[in-house]
Structure 1
Amino acid sequence: MNILFLHPNFPAQFRHVAIALAKNPKNKVVFGTKRKEGSLPGVFKAIYTPSRQARPETHHYVRTLENAVLQGQAVYRLADQLKRENFIPDVVYGHSGWGPTLFIKDIFPKAELLCFFEWFYHAHGTDADFDPKEPLTADDEARIRIKNTPILTDLYSCDRGLSPTQWQKQQFPPEFHSKITVRHDGIDTNYFQPKPGAKLVLKDQKLDLSEVDEIVTYVARGMEPYRGFPQFMEAVSILLKKRTHCHVVIVGEDRVAYGRSLPDGKTYKQLMLETYDYDLSRLHFTGSLPYAQYLQVIQASSVHVYLTRPFVLSWSMLEVMSTGGLVLGSKTPPVEEVIEDGVNGLLVDFFAIDRIVERIEEVLDYTDKMTALRVKARETIQNKYDLSKLLPKHIKWIYN
């Protein structure tokens, strides 16, 4: 079978499934992407480059659509090149939203088009209007509606789709639900496993917390309101004053991955450090980490704080649970699909700063009581999100 994967950020959700399919000598696997870095064993990587970005004069409602069309056009040209080289895919499997799958049915009409449907945008009831301090304008509502245009095209064009959680599937229009299967891409529970007594020492970071008993961790791609970074940092400013032996480790880049940047050009990290007082000797920013070092962080964590708006669920929360970590998560639908308060983790109101501090202290003060929750957290991932169980089902779904 010839399989073409499409994702601008190689390899993203397709890492494990692409490697597994490439191991079969009967398959030829090609991965179309914009990202030049990285490789996967047995997978031929094909780079596509949009001819330009959306122009500044383009109406701001449709800039994301123009970029999606430009990306779809670049993929069409790549597909035409692959066709001339006698690669005709039986299956094309791509991430919907950025545009790479838009014109696949035109260039490869006989190929089965599978789409990974991660998110469908709504102006009200999910992420966009979650913070009452950020009311939407009429322009926001219109822009968000138009943002779904490439996704709606894929929903119409695709043969089948996949969404990683029930919560994420439910955001898509009900008339398309019959096309969408819910299946998470899976967590490698053999890699993300507990390490009792783990000590955190990151030599590259010159960080040695081997003598520290209280380590609070936070992980996100960026430092932004969508993942509760301002709320977490306000809670940390209180926590570090109350607990003089506690250290906080923050993994992620000083940027905005989701949502709006600050209008004055500052980052949210800069804003928080200017707004609140911290003992910087106990507040550690590591930046983005290689997987092995990231694993060390979450294995050594006393309590991991995961706050998110009603949005896409992060892999990091599930990876922490797989290591037997104690997650203090926001009481929002994507988290509540996985964590039951007091059973396999703890939940807290996203905006309740004092309560976030109280619950962190609850974990640090009563570590023995939390053992059962840690065990149950890992069991949850092993039972419902284990890569070894989900990967064969994912492959079978692709083969149909």
Structure 2
Amino acid sequence: MRILFLHPNFPAQFRHVATLLGKDPNNEVVFATKIENAEWQIPGVRKVLFKVSREARAETHHYVRFLENGVLHGQGMFRVAEQLKAEGFVPDVIYGHSGWGPTLFMKDAFPNSQLMCYFEWFYHAIGSDADFDPAEPLSVDDMARIRIKNAPILIDLYSCDWGISPTHWQKSQFPEEFHSKITVLHDGVDTDYFKPNPDAKLILPNLDLSGVDEIVTYVGRGMEPYRGFPEFIESLAYVQERRPNCHVVIVGSDRVCYGRSLPNNETYKDHMLKKVPLDLSRIHFVGSLPYGLYLKVIQASSAHIYLTRPFVLSWSMIEAMSTGCLVIGSDTPPVREIIRDGENGLLVDFFSPKQIADRIDEVLDHPTRMAEIRQKARQTVLEQYSHDILLPRHIQLIEDVANRGLSPQQNIASSLERQTQDFALAQGWEQQP
């Protein structure tokens, strides 16, 4: 099979499935990306770069700058597609992340190839992330801009032969008329890597917490309201007042990845530390970490906080559960899909710093009761989100889409069901409802 992956940032969501496909000598795998990430080299996968001629112009109406950037990405990828065709490479299936733009013109470049799209998010002004915080009311201008932001995604929904969305919540955000060609299939977690370490002691470069018994952890790409960073920092005032020996480790960059930035280039970290008086000797901002050090943090965690608006679910929450973390998560749709309160984790009101602190107390005061919840968190991931289960399904779906004879939705759905049943039975697991 010949497959072409598309994502501006290599390898992104396609890392593991591309690695598995690249191991098969019968496959020819090409990954087109905008950013050359020297850290990642996947055996059997050829990287090619597309270039964007320019960014959206400043004078472009702000509603359509996202679309203009998408078109520019699509043009850059189209030029690379022409080069690939000249070399004799015509993919059986193209698999790209929708929204960035590289997928937009692939049906024109390769009219006889099947197009799969990874549908991560569809934007809404009402009912999900954008209007979640009542302190941030939307203007009519915001609503119009958000609606137009879906333009490149709608083109992909129309053009693609099949789509994947990682959670039921995320799929539910897409127009219902397109649901029939979107499969819910999470990227999965390497449960052999993200596993518990009962003897874990947290030692990082320039930080030794090996003698600390109470460690609260928080992980994010950035430090921002979308992931509940302000509420988390406010909760620490209660935690520090009650628990003098508790330390907090915060993993992530001091930046905004989603949502609005503060004026005058002020970061949310600086803003919240000015607002909330804390003992900073017990709060450790360790920045973004490589996987090996990040793993050490969550393995040593006594209580792991994951807060999110009704938005895209982070890999980090499921990775933390896979290590047996006691996750205290926000009672919001993407989290509720996985965490059942009191069974495999704990849920809190996103907007209640005091409740977050109360649940941290609950975890730290009842280690024996929490041990069962930790075990069930790990078991949830093993049974529903492990690479061992999901990667075979992912490969099967790609092969089914590549084979046009199996492209109708009934055939793909039944093939996936058979694959899942066979794998679950082989592992001795009961089938999940």
What is the CA–CA distance in structure 1 between the aligned matches of 2:362 and 2:63, rounded to whole Å? Answer: 46
Is 1:268 aligned to 2:260, yes or no?
Answer: no
- What is the alpha-carbon distance in structure 1 between the residues aligned to residue 238 and residue 62 of structure 2? 40
**Per-residue deviation, residues 189-229 of structure 1 (Å, max 9, x unmatched):** 110000002100012xx100000000000001000000000
Query: 1:160 aligned to 162, 165, 171, which one?
Result: 162
In the TM superposition, what are the counterparts of 1:382-393 in structure 2 within 5 Å?
A: 382-393=382-393
- Provide the secondary structure at the position in 2 that maps to 1:232: helix
CA distance in structure 2 between the aligned counterparts of 1:14 and 1:86, rounded to whole angstroms:
24
1:64 deviates by: 0.4
Matching residue's letter, 2:92:
D
Equivalence for 1:285? 285
The reply on whether 1:313 has 2:282 as its aligned counterpart is no
Q: Distance in 2 between matches of 1:10 and 1:326?
A: 31
What's the counterpart of residue 258 of structure 1?
258
* Structure 2 residue 193 is matched with structure 1 residue 191: yes
SS at match of 1:264: helix
Root-mean-square deviation over aligned CA pairs: 0.7
Other structure's SS at 1:281 match? helix
State how far apart, in whole Å, the 2-side matches of 1:364 and 1:308 are: 22
2:62 aligned residue (54, 57, 60): 60
Distance 1:59 1:263 in 2: 22
Query: In structure 2, what is the equivalent of residue 48 of structure 1?
Result: 50
Residue identity (%): 66
Q: Which residue of 2 aligns with 1:85?
A: 87
SS in 1 for 2:73: helix
Establish whether residue 395 from structure 1 lines up as the match of residue 395 from structure 2.
yes
CA distance in 2, matches of 1:212, 1:392: 41
CA distance in 1, matches of 2:301, 2:173: 33
CA deviation profile, 1:353-392 (whole Å, cap 9, x unmatched): 1111111111011111101100000010011101111101
Cα distance in 2 for partners of 1:34, 1:365 equals 49
Q: CA deviation at 1:264?
A: 2.0
Structure 2 gaps of 5+ residues are 401-433
Residue aligned with 2:89, SS: coil
SS at match of 1:135: coil
Residue 351 of structure 1 and its aligned partner are, at CA, apart by 0.2
8 Å CA contact 2:188–2:391 kept in 1: the answer is yes
Structure 2 counterpart of 1:170, one-letter code? S
**TM-score where L is the length of structure 1:** 0.99
Report how many aligned residue pairs link the two structures: 398
Q: Distance in 2 between matches of 1:40 and 1:141?
A: 41
CA-to-partner distance for each residue in 1:38-97, whole Å, 9 max, x for gaps?
Answer: 321111001112101001100000010000000011100111111111111111000001
Aligned to 2:419: none
CA distance in 2, matches of 1:346, 1:65: 39
Displaced runs of 4+ in structure 1, greater than 4 A?
none
Deviation of 1:238 (Å): 2.4
SS in structure 2 at match of 1:284 = strand
Unaligned regions of 5+ residues in structure 1, if any? Answer: none
Corresponding residue number in structure 1 for 2:405: none
Within 5 A, what are the aligned runs for 1:321-332? 321-332=321-332
**Which residues of 2 match residues 208-227 of structure 1 at below 5 A?**
208-227=208-227
Alignment of 1:233-382 (within 5 A): 233-382=233-382
Distance 2:178 2:390 in 1: 23
Q: 1 CA distance for matches of 2:399 and 2:202?
A: 43
**TM-score normalised by length of structure 2:** 0.91
Paired residues of 2:248 and 2:283 also in contact (CA < 8 A) = yes
